[in-house]
Amino acid sequence: MKWLLAFLVFAVVACIRSEAPVQPEAQEVVAMSLRLSSPSFADNAPIPLKFTCGGADVSPELVIVGVPENAKSLVLIVDDPDAPSKTWEHWTVINIPPDTVRIAEGSVPAGAVQLMNDFGRVEWGGPCPPPGKVHHYRFRLSALDTVLSLGSSAKKGDVVAAMNGHVLAESVLVGTYRR
């Protein structure tokens, strides 16, 4: 009886293991997922001075791959969760055309809308933390199944609320900076 029980356990484990190699499909899905990167800095690496308030304060070049076919628009929110008083909004761009594969340095894609940042400007506001600790700047790209109807005075909270239930995919690129 013990021998039969051991055989059944071995057979069940062998069957489970024989069905496990579903990994190639999972890797294909990962390869097709939304991804945001920059030739100016690697993920979790320092943002060059040029893109900060200590330099030219221009937005870095961004590269977009893997946008879902059914996306109607993209949203980019850049913020600093390490800011002293709150998560600081540096740049919000909505209604980026879904066929955008590159956002050139210091530019905004045609048709996209920039919103007011926490510097009180409707434009890129580069990293400008108080001296001391390293800050992390999140470049969050979201693919949506809709186009947002928000004016340029809208803030990040308005965008997040409008995106609710419409996000198809997201990607986050993090850059760091310390003064």
Q: Is residue 20 part of a domain?
A: no
Q: Is residue 15 part of a domain?
A: no
Please check whether residue 83 is in contact with residue 127, taking contact to mean a CB–CB distance below 8 angstroms. no
Can you give the residue range of the structural domain that contains 155?
Answer: 33-177
**What pLDDT is attached to residue 13?**
37
More confident of the two residues 132 and 29: 132
CATH of the domain at 89: 3.90.280.10
Token duo for residue 53: 């308030």
Q: Is residue 127 part of a domain?
A: yes
Is the pLDDT at 86 greater than 80? The verdict is yes
Q: What is the DSSP string of 79-131?
A: EETT-SSSPEEEEEEEEE-TT--EE-TT---TT-EE---TTS-SS-----PPS
Closest CA to 108 of 88, 128, 123, 130: 123
**What pLDDT is attached to residue 140?**
98
Q: Is residue 161 part of a domain?
A: yes
9-51 pLDDT tens trace: 344 334 433 333 333 333 333 334 999 999 999 999 999 999 9
Is residue 135 packed enough to be buried (19+ CB in 10 Å), middle (13-18) or exposed (0-12)?
Answer: buried
Q: Is residue 24 part of a domain?
A: no
**What pLDDT is attached to residue 131?**
94
Percent of the chain having pLDDT more than 70?
A: 82
Can you give the C-alpha Rg of the chain in angstroms?
A: 22
Please check whether residue 83 is in contact with residue 129, taking contact to mean a CB–CB distance below 8 angstroms. yes
pTM: 0.81
Q: How many domains does the chain have?
A: 1
Q: Is residue 122 part of a domain?
A: yes
Q: Is residue 5 part of a domain?
A: no
Q: Is residue 101 part of a domain?
A: yes
Average pLDDT taken over every residue of the chain: 86
